[in-house]
Amino acid sequence: MPGNTFGTLFRITTWGESHGPATGVIIDGCPAGLALTAAEIQKEVERRRPIAGSKITTTRREKDQVRILSGVFEGKTTGTPISLMVANEDTRSKDYSKIQDMYRPAHADYTYDLKYGFRDYRGGGRSSGRETLARVMAGAIAKKILLQKTKTVIFGHTIQVGDLKVKTFNRSEIEKNELRCADPVAAAKMKKMIEKIRFTEGDSIGAIIEIVIKNPPKGLGEPVFDKLEAELAKAMMSIGAVKAVEMGAGFAAATLKGSQNNDQMIKKGGKVHFLSNNSGGTLGGISTGEDIIIRLGIKPVPSISKPLKTITKSSKNTEIATLGRHDCCLAPRIIPVAESMAALVLTDKWLQQMVQNSLR
Ligand SMILES: Cc1cc2nc3c(=O)[nH]c(=O)nc-3n(C[C@H](O)[C@H](O)[C@H](O)COP(=O)(O)O)c2cc1C
């Protein structure tokens, strides 16, 4: 019922509120014997952190220093629950005192009050993007297992901001710009557009990101409710502000004929090859071994300084302008989170596959 736990064999439980003392995760089911240091997890956490000096992201600044509290002894996982945490340091809760009795349009304020009759309004409480830090810490371990055991690599990139789309793809460019965009020319235009929207209009903007899972193990996913794409879609839709998920050709498949959409197969050099990847790496909910391609539609950040109509807790009409420290376009910050969610799903499914096929 409470919904803070994800996964079956590789299972995580995240905890913490945006302005509480700390944010953390418990990972249960991580196999014993994996070499693990806080520094490795820190590397992924740094990728989720707002970039210092950036004009397109929140100015909230925290060290986000990862602490391993349990489950690792002499540099190796012990097979017992791994508990990871970071302190919340740069909270300015008074920024939120004005909105404690109002609902930010498109944020979770209204529904949390509706459901619980009470909410931690400081920084969005549990609905804050800060919760995703816990997922990234767990995702760092899942990514390591996948790389080591199956040579699977997961990366994400921004492909659209507003109506600006990428025109080229150069993977080595992705981590070189603030947008995490593989087309540096498009990235520069996107950045300019975001700055204008933020500073001139007091507004925010939506985006599309793509997550690529390269060299995934074959055969992952269970018929019928636990299909791999169903699990991935749930994982992605559990991230705040993600409003759409498509796999492979996705919505574009609606415009294709079967002869165009069907990924034809040939055998060459003793191996099975697909001549295209419109299915996005799964058939019947089971991975084919082709790259798994997921695209996410991300809505504009709800908190904006442009005044909008809303209601108070006592249902009076009013206006709200959110003046705290907020992101303007979430694409680059959601990329490490979505990569982590993909890694968590794949690791969980890979462990299930190992158990299921252990007598084969
Ligand atoms: C990494 C990350 C950072 C976010 N930062 C902000 C922010 O600064 N301001 C804001 O209003 N929403 C932010 N959000 C989005 C809200 O958390 C989200 O829109 C809200 O919880 C409502 O959920 P929904 O959009 O899924 O309906 C962020 C989300 C993520 C994943």
pLDDT in tens, 22-59: 999 999 999 999 999 999 999 999 998 877 677 777 76
Residue 59's pLDDT is 66
Residue 121's pLDDT is 86
Chain segment 255-293, per-residue pLDDT in tens: 999 999 999 999 999 999 999 999 999 999 999 999 999
- Ligand 1 mean position to 302 CA, how many Å? 7
SS in 3 state form for 189-254?
HHHHHHHHHHHCCCCCCCEEEEEEEECCCCCCCCCCCCCHHHHHHHHHHCCCCEEEEEECCHHHHH
More confident residue, 99 or 212: 212
- Ligand 1 mean position to 168 CA, how many Å? 29
Q: Torsion angle, CA of 147/208/285/254, rounded to 10 degrees?
A: -150
- Ligand 1 mean position to 152 CA, how many Å? 29
CA distance 270 to 290: 16
pTM: 0.96
Residue 89's pLDDT is 86
What is the average pLDDT across 346-355?
Answer: 96
Chain segment 261-271, per-residue pLDDT in tens: 999 999 999 99
Domains for the chain: give ranges and CATH numbers.
5-356 (3.60.150.10)
Residue 153's pLDDT is 98
What is the average pLDDT across 329-333?
Answer: 96
DSSP-based three-state secondary structure for 70: strand
Q: Measured from the CA of 241, which atom of ligand 1 is nearest?
A: 25
Residue 346's pLDDT is 98
Q: Measured from the CA of 127, which atom of ligand 1 is nearest?
A: 21
Chain segment 131-143, per-residue pLDDT in tens: 999 999 999 999 9
What residues flank ligand 1, with Cβ below 6 Å?
A: 58, 107-108, 124, 127-129, 132, 239-241, 299, 301-303, 326-327, 330, 333-334, 337
